[in-house]
Amino acid sequence: MIITPNTEDALRAAVHNNAAWCAAVCPGGVFTAGSWTSPRRTPPYYPDAVTLTREVSAAALTAGIDTQSPGCSVKDSFAVLDLAPAGFELLFEAQWIHRPADAAAPAPASALSWSRIESARDLDRWEAAWDGEESTGLFHPGLLTPEIAFLAGRSAEGRIVAGAVANEAAGVVGVSNVFTQDGVADEEAWSGALAEIASLWPGRAVVGYEAGEDLATALRHGFTPLGPLRVWLHTA
């Protein structure tokens, strides 16, 4: 992949947007010029550190997080760190993605009714659908802000069977936590979520990161890859 100034700007926007989302979910973290770190263990699925530049050192990064508690992880946003000497193992790799602001508006999902979650009660229902079992309180009501939208795709019976999260930060809108239930096609979740994002934040580029089949689905919906990232898990 050829890195151009525009690609680099889009990549940095995606990285900073994702760090802002992690910081919202995990209060108490600290931003520096090179990273976001949480001095206490973060909730499941969320990193204890996110690099914001290629230059941050492994030693500086790990000094600000709790590597003694099980589950500590680091999002190496530019896939340049070697954290193995610090007791980490590579958990997974993914690609940052970008959908330009002038991309054609996606067609709305045909079988679902999409809307933004507005109440704590509906947020619990959204999380239970996302989790596949029950709400754990991971997504707290404080996340219901103008900059963050939990998007729900409902069946004709009113059940949440698809969804995504959108967050506005760093001049772009991040999309994450895309899910479906009950045989709903991934294509409908992506098209429905993107249509809602276009309505809420018209003219904004959309970013995120995905891997595997989810990456392939995103690319079919107008995204292009920006560059790799790695997530490391502390195991020593």
Distance CA 191, CA 39 (A): 37
Band (pLDDT 50/70/90 cuts) for residue 1 is: very low
Give the burial string for 187-222 (b: 16+ CB within 10 Å, else e).
ebbbbbbbbbbbeebeebbbbbbbeeebbebbeebb
The more confident residue out of 176 and 2 is 176
pTM for this entry: 0.94
Beta bridge partners of 154: 113, 160
Give the mean pLDDT of the chain: 93
Q: Name residue 75's amino acid.
A: K
Distance CA 177, CA 93 (A): 17
Q: Tell me, what's the pLDDT at 182?
A: 83
Angle at 169 between CA 173 and CA 180, to 5 degrees: 40
Q: For the chain, give the percent of residues with pLDDT over 70.
A: 95
Q: Tell me, what's the pLDDT at 136?
A: 80
Let me know if 233 is exposed, middle or buried by CB neighbors in 10 A (0-12, 13-18, 19+): middle
Angle at 211 between CA 231 and CA 65, to 5 degrees: 15
pLDDT for 97-150, tens place per residue? 999 998 876 666 568 999 999 999 999 999 999 988 777 889 999 999 999 999
Instruction: Find all residues with CB under 8 Å of 86, minimum gap 6, and list them.
Output: 58, 59, 62, 67, 234, 236
Two structure tokens written together for 150: 């939990």
- DSSP helix/strand/coil, 24: helix
Distance CA 26, CA 42 (A): 6
pLDDT for 125-140, tens place per residue? 999 999 887 778 899 9
* Mean pLDDT, residues 222-236: 95
Q: Tell me, what's the pLDDT at 93?
A: 98
